[in-house]
Chain A
């Protein structure tokens, strides 16, 4: 077990190094950093001096080691655009994106899992067919269209919910949260639904397929033959076995939700990392883009680690090494 976790963590270190290398290459090779930092009137001699000061003439490997070391110490460099430390910029944006992602995930699970179970247990019901059709429409429409439609209906026509921004936020330490005010929740609802729709459909269809598979298995038939109460059969026996593969996909998708909340954030002008990333692209703000890459990769690695641990928690067969 300990060996298993250690192995996963060492693998994660290598993944992070690979991503750091990509981010570094972005810095170093997408255009000349010096010419982006300086104006046209800077003399060649000054440019050369700057190059020497910034260590850009050092050997490649040396530069990479220094870059990774700085990253490790939490020094992410400065934005070309705002002249602020990138670390501060990202840190101020992370809460918004995380809250959005987590709420979207929760919505998708709260709706997706029960819907999946229902449609699996009544594969021929009328409601099942209706749900399957609606969700198919749901995935076929691109995220931004859904967002705009929601804004149009609930924001413009009905005027119930705000159409942009985070609404009222509360500062808790360095974390700016919109989860503690009604206003914040009102602002959060539409973007979270928009972001969660795809995930919801995926979860539902996955739960449905897995559950139908599990219901055909021998141990469910044996439990039926023993007269185990139906409710227990469905939720204790079948659902637990269904969740083993489903968790992997949900985990991977959650990484994706965080990483690709860009579209939703720009539709709702949600001040998260995705919006920051878009602005950075517009101004070719390479340090911010590089750090964004690293942060997102870190989330992916973290989520995967958590998924692996959940696996072990759910499935006793993976704990073989503990008990003999």
Chain B
């Protein structure tokens, strides 16, 4: 039904045209879910935007054909194209928080969309809207329809978005990362919904995602893209089960499996930084290693935040972010911490680093008690012993400092190395230890990719000679192949220097690869702690079981 042939999209710029996608072929039948997978910059979203005719400003379709049924999409005038949008092709965006107009009720948005494409009265449109919401799984739809978007939770909002997309009975829906911003439980509901709609209404879906697990679970056919070109395409079972193209193979190798632990990921050799030059930094770190391996134990830790105040006379009820958390991290081990958004994972990290002050409980780093929040002074030894790697490598490095300065900062700040020349040498050597070219010290953060920046962030953390490292979702902003590299790096460094690591992630498969022990957090409470292997193969808590069941995985027979 949708046929794309030889599609190329170009973005003119001062330095000549930039080709975003080139010679893309693809076809989708009614009722088919067609997965479009690839890493960032592969041009997946551009394909979707070209089909629906909403390419970002200077971009244009250079050549190729786009046909939907009998309609040539490229020959439409702007007015005709706008009529087709919604009526025959619709779209679902990634983030349900931002894809609904915050100032209009759900009702207004649904009714205007229905009325835009069919000549029905307002009350008929309202009735259809209510029916749609019921069908999509929103209870009490006749009343909920009067609500504004902010009054729905993330998952419900994505349902509303889907209701809007199907409200005009389109033939094709382009879903651009529809579940990336959602927790696993909500993700599986939304994916079920998409499958149901494809089957019952014969809607064709173009499912754009970077998550191969999602594709494996719901897509009938899949197209793998890289750098604007199609690498491989065909039935999902065939492409993912017996990949032919080396890129597909490499991509599959980089996906962490949920049901077993790999010692290392198979990663194709990267641009060949010379690890031997890391000797200086390695020796320096080992020489500083006079301390024992340091564990951390938390006892009855409780953190509360004040809720929004609504009255003069009553104190607002506190929001309990962490509720009596007791957790022991053995010296030299990796503790994985998993949980959905809002479960308190990051609050725990902040409490340990002293950025948030707990209301009660004790925190012990080795044998010393950690003071809470601001009562921990600047020169408290834990400020050096505990270091952190953040989620977003784009905002965790100061963009106006050179890499050399960023790396040398812990060295002078903690008074390790007095001589500036020495510091620079150590920083350069540290870079090769984390797999980068040492000459990077003269550059600025923006000159590096996300994965390289995360390496720099790890290097900075290590130069403080920490004994305890907190990694808060260190790979969730990265592509799978880069994720695999960073995870390998963290594993290597951990075993080399005997670090104790608290590894926080919402991705269960990643934690399985990294952690010796795993704790499952939900609404600020620990549901389950134990050996990672045990937690994953014989979970005790119901919640852990649900999480494991809902995580999209590939059938194990597909894995090489």
In the complex, what distance in Å separates the CA atom of A241 from the CA atom of B151?
18
By a beta-carbon cutoff of 8 Å, the part of chain B in contact with chain A is 52, 54, 82-87, 89-91, 93, 95, 98-104, 109, 112-113, 116-117, 147-148, 150-151, 161, 164-165, 167-168, 174, 308-312
- Tell whether, in the assembled complex, residue B151 and residue A315 are in contact, meaning their CB atoms are under 8 Å apart: no
B89 / chain A contacts, CB cutoff of 8 Å: 225
In the complex, what distance in Å separates the CA atom of A293 from the CA atom of B211?
63
A6 / chain B contacts, CB cutoff of 8 Å: 312
A316 / chain B contacts, CB cutoff of 8 Å: 102-103, 148, 150
Q: B-facing mask of A229-246, CB < 8 A → 1, else 0?
A: 110100011001100100
Pick the residue among A217, A236, A314 that contacts B98 (CB under 8 A).
Answer: A217
Residue on B with the closest CB to A223?
B101
A221 / chain B contacts, CB cutoff of 8 Å: 54, 93, 99
Q: List 19 extra interface pairs beyond A217-B98, A221-B99, CB under 8 A.
A: A6-B312, A218-B95, A223-B101, A225-B54, A225-B85, A225-B90, A225-B174, A226-B85, A226-B86, A226-B90, A226-B168, A227-B86, A227-B113, A228-B116, A229-B116, A230-B82, A237-B104, A320-B308, A321-B308
Q: List 26 A-B contacts (CB under 8 A).
A: A219-B100, A219-B102, A222-B91, A222-B99, A222-B100, A223-B101, A224-B54, A225-B85, A225-B90, A226-B86, A226-B90, A226-B164, A226-B165, A226-B168, A227-B82, A227-B117, A228-B112, A232-B116, A237-B101, A237-B104, A241-B101, A244-B103, A314-B103, A315-B102, A316-B102, A316-B148
The interface centre, meaning the residue of A218, A223, A227, A241 with most chain B CB atoms within 10 A of its CB, is A227
Task: Given A316-B148, A320-B150, decide whether A236 and B104 contact each other with a Cβ distance below 8 A.
Answer: yes
In the complex, what distance in Å separates the CA atom of A222 from the CA atom of B95?
11
Pick the residue among A218, A224, A236, A323 that contacts B85 (CB under 8 A).
Answer: A224
B52 / chain A contacts, CB cutoff of 8 Å: 225
B117 / chain A contacts, CB cutoff of 8 Å: 227
Q: B-facing mask of A194-225, CB < 8 A → 1, else 0?
A: 00000000000000000000000111011111
Q: B-facing mask of A1-12, CB < 8 A → 1, else 0?
A: 001001000000
In the complex, what distance in Å separates the CA atom of A6 from the CA atom of B312?
9
In the complex, what distance in Å separates the CA atom of A221 from the CA atom of B174?
13
B99 / chain A contacts, CB cutoff of 8 Å: 218-219, 221-222
Pick the residue among B91, B102, B308 that contacts A225 (CB under 8 A).
Answer: B91
In the complex, what distance in Å separates the CA atom of A317 from the CA atom of B105?
11
Residue on A with the closest CB to B101?
A219
The interface centre, meaning the residue of A228, A229, A232, A240 with most chain B CB atoms within 10 A of its CB, is A228
- Tell whether, in the assembled complex, residue B161 and residue A222 are in contact, meaning their CB atoms are under 8 Å apart: yes
In the complex, what distance in Å separates the CA atom of A3 from the CA atom of B309?
9
Task: Given A3-B311, A218-B95, A321-B310, decide whether A227 and B87 contact each other with a Cβ distance below 8 A.
Answer: yes
Task: Given A218-B98, A227-B85, A227-B117, decide whether A315 and B91 contact each other with a Cβ distance below 8 A.
Answer: no
What's the nearest-Cβ distance from chain B to residue A193, in Å? Answer: 33
A315 / chain B contacts, CB cutoff of 8 Å: 102-103
Task: Given A217-B98, A226-B165, decide whether A241 and B103 contact each other with a Cβ distance below 8 A.
Answer: yes
Interface residues of A in 102-143 (CB under 8 A from B): none
3 cross-chain pairs, A with B, having the tightest CB-CB distances, nearest first: A227-B86, A225-B91, A227-B85
